[in-house]
Structure 1
Amino acid sequence: MPFDSTKPSLISTLVRHYDELVDRVRRRFGDRGFAREVVHDVCVQLLEKREKEGVHTPLALLHKISHDQAVSRYRSERRRQAWVVAMPELPEAACQAPLPAQQYEAAREFERLAQAIAGLPSRCQIVFVMHKIHELPQAEVAARMGISLKTVEKHLRLGLAACRAVLAETERAQ
């Protein structure tokens, strides 16, 4: 169907009735800036798509398109706002990472614990590391080492006592 210059196009109708379309959306949604954005979106939409043929009442179609666009935009904005969490104030720190002094002290404490474990008798040290560090059950440690469960418990008690003594000494020093 060839272009008929006597029939108004949707774009020319939008330009002629721009203020009316904006006011109609504003009355429904209450915000003039929102209404302008909606009508601009409709204009862009019309420019990007091929002109519809056989439109008898272009203004009525523009009313419908702008209303649908406004509803869609309003719903989208409501969903977006639902995801925003309002915080009355910002937290003091962005992350809960320890301070450098705390990191240094923890590293020193770790070194002292490692020295305490290294100072254990060899079998006691192996049992302690297998159970406490590698998290093997006591029965499995006993089976791997070829010792009784009571002996594993005895070695663990010795290892824990050595570690407690180092921690107690650290607390006294502070």
Structure 2
Amino acid sequence: MSLESAKSSLISTLVRHYDELVERVRRRFGDGGFAHEVIHDVCVQLLEKQQKEQPRTPLALLHKISHDQAISRYRSERRRQAWIVTLPDLPERESEAPCAVRQYAASEELELLTQAIEALPPRCQMVFVMHKIHELPQAEVARQMGISLKTVEKHLRLGLAACRAHLGRTTLEP
């Protein structure tokens, strides 16, 4: 028997036992579509590959080839699935974390504000820090420092003006 007839013998065996081979793979791997793809791959493999010799039991060889092909395809599919990022894992919007340029600009601005506050007169600096940094109400600042509410307001105006001037702005954003 020639090698070409060995190939046609395997293919004719595959055609005769196609449903049985598909069912065998489906039972093992639980998916009919997967089983059909595996058997189609086996068919392509048989058509493309040269047979070295005539198999003694073509159906047993087809069982082995289809089983090996199914395992190979299953492993490939699992590796591919491991790399796929599913939509629920993705954030719904982009990160709100500032980029490096914005972080640098913010740190520079913070340094300028610190310099401006340190340059204030001591009493003005204390009022400004208590109200703006420690977030104490103006009335509480006035009470703790023993000064009037109008004096607290005046020191806050002076502190804000000094900060604006130091930053080169007309307003300070919250």
Task: Kindly provide the CA deviation profile for residues 24-73 of structure 1, in whole angstroms up to 9, marking residues without a partner as x.
Answer: 10111011110000000000011111134231111000000000000011
Q: CA deviation at 1:6?
A: 9.7
* Structure 2 match to 1:134: none
Q: Whole-Å Cα distance in 2 between the matches of residues 6 and 79 of structure 1?
A: 35
Cα separation, partners in 2 of 1:14 and 1:169, compared to 1, 3 Å: same
Distance in 2, matches of 1:6 and 1:91, equals 56
Q: Which residue of 1 aligns with 2:56?
A: 56
Q: Which residue identity does 1:86 align to in structure 2?
A: T
For 1:139, the equivalent position in structure 2 comes to none
Say whether the 8 Å CA contact 2:25–2:66 is kept in structure 1.
Answer: yes
Shift of 1:85: 2.9
Q: Structure 1 residue runs of 4+, over 2 Å off? A: 1-8, 84-98, 161-164, 167-170
16-25 or 89-98: which moved more?
89-98
Tell whether the 8 Å contact from 2:13 to 2:58 is kept in structure 1 after alignment.
yes
1:171 aligns with 2:139: no
Aligned residues: 116
State the AA in 2 paired with 1:67.
Answer: H
> Are 1:15 and 2:11 counterparts?
no
Q: Distance in 1 between matches of 2:48 and 2:6?
A: 23
Specify whether residues 53 and 88 from structure 1 end up closer, same or farther in structure 2 by C-alpha distance, changes over 3 A only. Answer: same
Moved more, 66-75 or 47-56: 47-56
User: Following TM superposition, by how much is the alpha carbon of 1:169 offset from its aligned partner in structure 2, in angstroms?
Assistant: 4.3
Paired position in structure 1 for 2:26: 26
The residue matched to 2:172 in structure 1 has which SS? helix
Task: Quickly say closer, same or farther: Cα 1:89–1:53, change in 2 above 3 A.
Answer: closer
Gaps of 5+ in 2: 110-161
Which residue does 2:156 correspond to in 1? none
Rg larger in structure: 2
Task: Say if 1:38 and 1:91 are closer, same or farther in 2 by CA, change over 3 A.
Answer: same
What is the percentage of aligned positions where both structures have the same residue? 68
| Secondary structure of residue in 2 paired with 1:61 | helix
Structure 1 residue ranges without an equivalent (≥5): 99-105, 114-160
What is the aligned partner in structure 2 of residue 150 from structure 1?
none
TM-score, L = length of structure 1: 0.52
Q: Kindly indicate whether the alpha-carbon contact (under 8 Å) linking 1:38 and 1:66 is maintained by their aligned counterparts in 2.
A: yes
* Mapped partners of 2:165, 2:93: distance in 1: 33
Q: Which amino acid aligns with 2:11?
A: I
Q: 8 Å contact 1:26–1:35 — kept in the other structure?
A: yes
Letter in 1 for 2:20: E
